[in-house]
Amino acid sequence: MEITRRALSLAGLGLLATSSLSTAYAVDDPLADPFEGRNDFWLAVEAYIYGYPLVTMEMTRRVITNVPKVAGAKGPMGQIIKVREYPNASFTDVTAPNADTLYTTSFIDVGKEPWVFSIPDMKDRYYLFPMLDGWTTVFQVPGKRTTGGEPQTYAITGPGWEGKLPDGVTEYKSPTSLVWILGRIYCTGTPEDYKAVHELQDQCKLVPLSSYGKEWKPPIGKVDPKMDMKTAVREQVNRMDAVEYFTLLSELMKTNPPTAADAPMVEKIAEIGIIPGKDFDKSKLDAHFVKRIPEIAFARIMLHFKFSDGDIKDINGWGYTTKTGIYGINYLQRALITAIGLGANRPEDAIYPTSTKSKDGLLSRAYAGSDDYVLTFPKGETPPVKGFWSITMYNEKYFFVENPLNRYSISARQNLKSNADGSIDIYIQNKSPGADKEANWLPAPKGKFILMMRLYWPDDKPPSILDGSWKIPPAKKV
């Protein structure tokens, strides 16, 4: 990962201009590099970006599993969380949640022994159960696209596990001890379909290998009363100073090791006291930088959305990427996806175009509820997918927005009304466009907002978003 210091300085300009630095590093020229020559500072910034997914995954795990038993969107380690309805505007555990599928998830630790996960007969229903390692890599993804709808059983094993598995059980080896099974089962949201999906969720089974084929009762979960259960995970991560952050990162790397491809990065970050398998040596980190490192590093992560070197495409006011789920050594991309869409799938399973800015004449500006917008799909040109598509509304922090319809996304399941020429208009605005158009209305907040389109199992033949032969239409101000 190559980080341009000039770009980092400019990215963090707002932060640097509004907060104090030590006398030794005062900002005289806002376009100058305030840390010129401080290689240890920039190395720490790289280390922060490198470790952002692992730290965020761990904090997400802590919040979601910090309960005695499964309730709502939370559940103890090793127990299946069966979300029974779409999340609402109060949900802040994970950024950019969806309102198209019912999550069926669990965090497991495969460091001590494998866990066996069973999926029932899904018939023709669309579903997928991506399995993420501690660094957010989707290392396996059973689902409609990959393994079909038949019943199936998998043993998720840890990095060093060796042994024999029962007949009929397929091994999925995780590169790390921490695993997040982040299942999604498509649901239309009607009472009847909720019931049908609930039955499928109840047939999903998860047990430690030592209890497979036996009666197993999940233990009561351990609760840490000091854990912040109200603040969004991303905010909890971002407010850590560098010592706290790197201490946690080093601890996590003991059971969630870097890959072989990470060797050059591992060698570099050892210079500032971050060594896999060992505690963080904070004596190697300049105390002047403890608060500044996270601020500059996160600014660089978010800047990658705009200046991504091709990782993010910008088409008609939509930014999207086909580089999710598997990242290799593209640490900036991995950190960005963690920040704005933790748990993103491989592109073959889902692509998530996200609004950038509205183009109005010569000006481009953020979408705002004070304006009305319309997105038009020409006849026969709705998003080409084999799974489903939707457009979701978020506030500036990538969380749902309260609205009178309790509608957080819009898709074909709303029975969208077509125009006389067969085209379909989607109305994106704060106030109702009128009773005759409400089926096509995606309610917006009064302030700024973000749109995210979901294309699950996108067509791989033209027209396709995968090769750019299908282009997303713009949301135009009216």
* Cα radius of gyration (the chain): 23
The pLDDT value given to residue 287 = 86
The Cα–Cα gap between 41 and 161 comes to: 38
Q: Domain 67-211 class? A: mainly beta
- Give Cα 55 distance to the centre of its chain: 13
Distance CA(475)–CA(355), nearest Å, equals 9
3-state DSSP assignment of residue 364: strand
Phi-psi region of 242 (alpha: psi -120 to 50; beta: other; left: phi over 0): alpha
Backbone φ/ψ region at 186: left (φ over 0), alpha (ψ -120 to 50), beta: beta
Q: Which amino acid is at 462?
A: P
**pLDDT value, residue 360:** 66
Q: Using alpha carbons, select from 93, 90, 147, 84 the residue that is nearest to residue 117.
A: 147
Please report the beta strands in 395-478, taking only residues with DSSP state E, as ranges in sequence order: 409-410, 424-429, 441-443, 450-458, 475-477
Correct CATH for 313-477 of 3.90.1150.10, 2.30.33.40, 2.60.120.600, 3.40.50.2300: 2.60.120.600
* Global confidence as pTM: 0.88
- Determine the 3-state secondary structure of 183 from DSSP: strand
Tokens 């720490």, residue?
44
Return the closest-CA partner of residue 450 out of 374, 350, 355.
355
Mean pLDDT by 10 residues, the chain (478 residues): 47 37 34 56 96 98 97 95 91 81 97 97 97 98 98 96 96 98 95 97 98 94 95 94 98 97 97 96 90 96 92 92 96 95 95 84 79 96 97 92 94 94 98 96 95 96 96 94
Which residue is associated with the tokens 């294309």? 455
Residues forming beta bridges with residue 74, ordered by sequence position: 71
Task: For residue 156, give every residue at least 6 positions away whose Cβ sits within 8 Å of its Cβ, in sequence order, or none.
Answer: 108, 110, 114, 115, 116, 117, 131, 172, 173, 174, 179, 181
Bond preceding residue 473 cis, omega within 30 of 0: no
Q: Decide: 441 and 411 in contact? Cβ < 8 Å.
A: no
What CA–CA distance (Å, rounded) separates 265 from 204?
Answer: 39
DSSP structure class, residue 143: B
DSSP bridge pairs for 170: 154
Crossing angle of helices 242-252 and 39-65, rounded to 10°? 70
> Across the strands, what pairs with 392?
409, 452
CATH of domain 5-59+233-303: 1.10.3360
Query: Which runs of E-coded beta strand occur in 200-333?
Result: 205-208, 313-315, 318-320
CA angle 110, 116, 121 (to 5 degrees): 145
> What is residue 361's predicted lDDT score, i.e. its pLDDT?
61
pLDDT at 35: 52
Give me the pLDDT at residue 32, please: 41
* DSSP 8-state code for residue 74: B
User: What are the extents of the domains in the chain?
Assistant: 5-59+233-303, 67-211, 313-477
